[in-house]
Amino acid sequence: MRAIKKAGELIDMSKHKGEHPRMGATDVCPLIPIANITMGETVEWAQRLAERVGRELSLPVYLYEEAQADKTRSNLSVIRAGEYEGFFKKINELKPDFGPAVFDAKRGATVIGARDFLVAYNVNLNTTSVRRANAIAFDIREAGRKMTDDSGKMIIVPGSLKSVKAIGWYIEEYGIAQISINLTNINITPVHIAFDEVCKKADARGIRVTGSELVGLIPLQAMLDAGKYFLRKQKRSTGVSEKELIRIAVISMGLDELSPFKSEEKIIEKLKTTELSKALESGFDFSKMKKGTITTQVTGDNPFLKKYLGYNCESLLRKIHHHIGQMKLLPELYDLKEDKKINVKTRLENLGKRYILFSKFLTSK
């Protein structure tokens, strides 16, 4: 919510230019379930956020993917068609789900939704031609390309890869054209298959793939699968270490061509654990809780801890015990269906962990 508000303050869409399709200062805000939350719950949070943004910021908001009940308008490309420049007219035909049906010249409109994990992946080409890059993108993307048949009728020719969105663009920073790819379901089209298919289509057009890059994060299993795939292509054993499989995947797809590939920054499961997460994972002896009132000496500059300035430590201790007790007594306390019971338990556990983490800070001062 705060990010969307700040983007609207800082970005003037009437002066914005760029290669990537966009329709607002906050173009799209997806909520993605990673762990301890269901897609259904994520949808509820996305809808609540969308309603609040429309109401409090007076911004046109569209729901997409799982959060959108009307599947004729759940695809982001459908909503964003015409981009910012075309929305002054389009908003009269495609009414927003929340907020005013009046296009905001400075902030544009935004799209909020819930979806599964997406891998953003760019493939580097030895050309500067956006036209050729787009031709390859149309070859592979599921939506394919529009063509005219022998009778003069407009038809759609699908691309070769399912669950793939792609466009071609020129990256001035590197002086090359790229295929910018969104892999919307890596179980259907994994990253290594997308890479090989681009290589195949590029070669058919006399263009070489020189490498690729990940934008954001990728699951560990996707990298391990890629490593095994390229080893099998070489008729080599896949019985190597996890580290070696990742290395094979990186060098095979040229993931380090434009910048070093750091597993601890790119692979979800290998993200460096912070001191906070280390504290969260370890136990705590409640009997060592300090007495008195929580002050700035305890909280330091930590924004989470500052919320508890003035709290009585003993009161907080009782609160911790209360929530821990609730977790232990869940079957007796909640007359719910099993799936709802699990969701309640997860929320209580997360809340309990926050207090445990907080109490560790108290004892470290």
Among 83, 77, 197, 226, residue whose Cα is nearest residue 137 = 197
Among 50, 33, 52, residue whose Cα is nearest residue 41 = 33
Structural element, H or E, at residue 120:
strand 119-125
Residue 73 token pair: 């308008």
Which is it for strands 209-215 and 176-183: parallel, antiparallel or unpaired? unpaired
Q: Which residues pair with 146 in a beta bridge?
A: 156
40 CB-near residues (< 8 Å, 6+ apart): none
Which is it for strands 61-65 and 110-114: parallel, antiparallel or unpaired? parallel
- Give all strands of the β-sheet with 61-65 in edge-to-edge order: 28-31, 110-114, 61-65
Choosing from 20, 192, 321, 323, the catalytic residue is 20
Reduce the secondary structure of 244-269 to three states and give it as a string. HHHHHHHHHHCCCCCCCCCHHHHEHH
User: Is residue 321 flagged as an active site residue?
Assistant: no
Q: Which residues pair with 15 in a beta bridge?
A: none
CA dihedral 11→16→21→23, nearest 10 degrees, is 50
Residue 155 token pair: 């038809």
Contact call for residues 64 and 28 (beta carbons, < 8 A): yes
271 CB-near residues (< 8 Å, 6+ apart): 217, 264, 265
The residues assigned a catalytic role are 20
